[in-house]
Amino acid sequence: MLNPRKSFFAFSCYIVLLHSISSSTEGIGRILGAQILSDGTKDCLFTSATTTAPVYDWSPWENAPTMSKISLDKWTFIAQSVDVDSSTQYGFRYVLGAAAPAAPTSVLNSRSPSSGSFYKLYSNATVVYTNDPHGGSPCGCIMQYIRVYTDYFPSTQDQMISLALMNPISK
């Protein structure tokens, strides 16, 4: 016969344990994120969370290991946009040739949550960049022009490139 008090205590411990595992491995609600597995095996540049999945990696991302698409000694632009109401997320990767005036390469993809819904952005959110205290390695990069746009959902390549090239003096 189950003891209700013991059952409730055990259930509470389970919830606390579950939360501690989630927090230590995934951070506090990774609603958007960018990451690369640097052993060259994973086709994943972006990740996020949904209301039913704390980790919703965007894989496959462009049908090739992401590491093979990121060149050393070059600048790469990344952007991720979300429209919670339409359950849509866009990811964008953009590279300018640095050694020669080569044509820029870009990838724009969209997806919907496999279950649940994407999270809204609230004023108590935090942006963590170049490294993450909840695991993994530093990005091994120099980062610049990190921006968050509210009430804006770019969904075309032109709109994404406009973000990439936007200079503060143009406002």
Partner 1 sequence: MSIKYSQLIRDSQIDELRPKLVLELNSLHERVVIIEDNSKQVNFFFEIPMKSVVYRGATEIFYIQETQVTSSIGIYHHKAVADYSTTFTETSRYTISAWFYKATWTTSWERYLRLSIDAEPS
On whether the CB atoms of residues 50 and 32 are closer than 8 A, the answer is: no
Is 28 a residue that touches partner 1 (CB under 8 A)?
A: yes
Q: Which of 41, 68, 97, 110 binds partner 1 (CB under 8 A)?
A: 97
Distance CA 107, CA 93 (A): 5
Neighbours of 13 (CB within 10 A): 10
Q: Which of residues 136-165 bind partner 1 (CB under 8 A)?
A: 136-154, 157-159, 161-165
**Closest distance between partner 1 and the C-beta of residue 84, in Å?**
4
User: What mask of x and - would describe binding to partner 1 in positions 33 to 62, judged by CB under 8 A?
Assistant: xxxxxxx---------x-------------
Is 119 a residue that touches partner 1 (CB under 8 A)?
A: yes
Distance CA 123, CA 117 (A): 19
Is 5 a residue that touches partner 1 (CB under 8 A)?
A: no
Q: Which of 4, 5, 6, 72 binds partner 1 (CB under 8 A)?
A: 72
Distance CA 53, CA 115 (A): 8
Distance CA 106, CA 127 (A): 24
In this complex, which beta carbon is closest to partner 1, that of residue 4 or of residue 133? 133
Residue of 108, 109, 44, 116 whose CA lies nearest to 84: 116
Is 25 a residue that touches partner 1 (CB under 8 A)?
A: no
Is 113 a residue that touches partner 1 (CB under 8 A)?
A: no
Is 77 a residue that touches partner 1 (CB under 8 A)?
A: yes
Residue of 32, 42, 39, 34 whose CA lies nearest to 113: 32
